[in-house]
A and B are shown apart, each in its own frame.
Chain A
């Protein structure tokens, strides 16, 4: 009697695997940089080309490092979420303007608003390679020691903010106070 149930059981197990797998995005590449310190780099700032800052300057407080560009359509989609975050003062947001032109980037910020405390200007995309950037926008959550604790690829939506990023920020804040 039992052996007639075997195909059914196999089927149910397969369905479970498919149900889990089909809900995931196969094109997402997990970052090997999680829990590692932010790679060293030094770049000029977008708004003051004569000022050069380094990755080390990002230590000291929990930071959201957001890779964006004026040519990136999805960045426009997440922009209101970042604007809201910056207006609420929840967390410091620093940008990396990736493979862009200064003029167009500045125009874009002028037009849509600037949520960034500052934006690095990675014209060639070389720093992007060091960070493992493959699809703009990408957002890194850095703790106050400059260690990458989380990376989100794709636009940050309200949902992702509430479900993933804000809880991580909270956890990092708790770590700080303990």
Chain B
């Protein structure tokens, strides 16, 4: 038991330098803090590319968080901050791809495919249910008569 506590204490202290290196940055003013947090979710960490700056612990993410923090302090707008990053890293740094002509396929493609698929299903079901009625009037009468006879039996 004593050993366990010693190990836990050791691990705690060993983790402190890492925690110190990754000091979360913040603002005193709540609206700046809100902007900061919202922006961090919108910017991708380019090292761990499926994480936003809010989630990533990578060194570059820290640097970029510090950069965003500084820019908010300097009074830059959200657009200026994302513009700054896109200028240096390209569109991929935005977690959500921008809506441009080159990304129309990405944004609308799934819906187009869905509609196309639905249309195909509707057409298929419709064509299946249709009775191929090309009997002449006499043949039609004969068929009706035969079916009625059958029902009576």
Contacts and interface: CB of A to CB of B under 8 A. Distances in A.
Contacts of A32: 86-90
A30 to B, nearest CB: 6
B88 A29 contact: no
A112 interface: no
Contact of B89 (A124, A125, A132): A132
Interface in A92-136: 99, 124-126, 128-132, 134-135
A87 interface: no
B87 to A, nearest CB: 7
A104 to B, nearest CB: 16
The secondary-structure label for the interface of chain B is helix
A126 B86 CA distance: 16
Sorting the interface of chain B by its residue count into under 10, 10 to 19, 20 to 34 or 35 or more gives 10 to 19
A134 B93 CA distance: 11
A83 interface: no
B88 A131 contact: yes
A27 interface: yes
Given A99-B59, A129-B63, A31 B46 contact: no
B25 interface: no
A18 to B, nearest CB: 17
A33 interface: yes
